[in-house]
Amino acid sequence: MRTGRCPKCGATRIATTSYAVYLGAGVTGPTLDLYACADCRYVEQYMRDPVESRVAVLDSWRWLRKDDAPFR
């Protein structure tokens, strides 16, 4: 999707925006880049910063499978 083509339908009418997730209590979460296909409405989101920095800092983030985590 970031290349300008929808992986679901192949269309090239892609809209994009960025936003920061607000987690409450004055805590801002990650900044996300959002991509949406105007034809099929498929949406993808990507974090700007590496996910490792968020897992290390925020208690609400955890690794889904511990063996996939970069910290062993």
21-60 confidence digits (pLDDT tens): 777 777 777 889 999 999 999 999 998 877 776 666 666 6
Query: What share of the chain in percent tops pLDDT 70?
Result: 75
Report how far residue 18's alpha carbon sits from residue 36's, in angstroms, rounded to the nearest whole number: 12
Quickly list H helices, the chain: 51-57
More confident residue, 15 or 24: 15
Domain boundaries along the sequence of the chain: 1-50
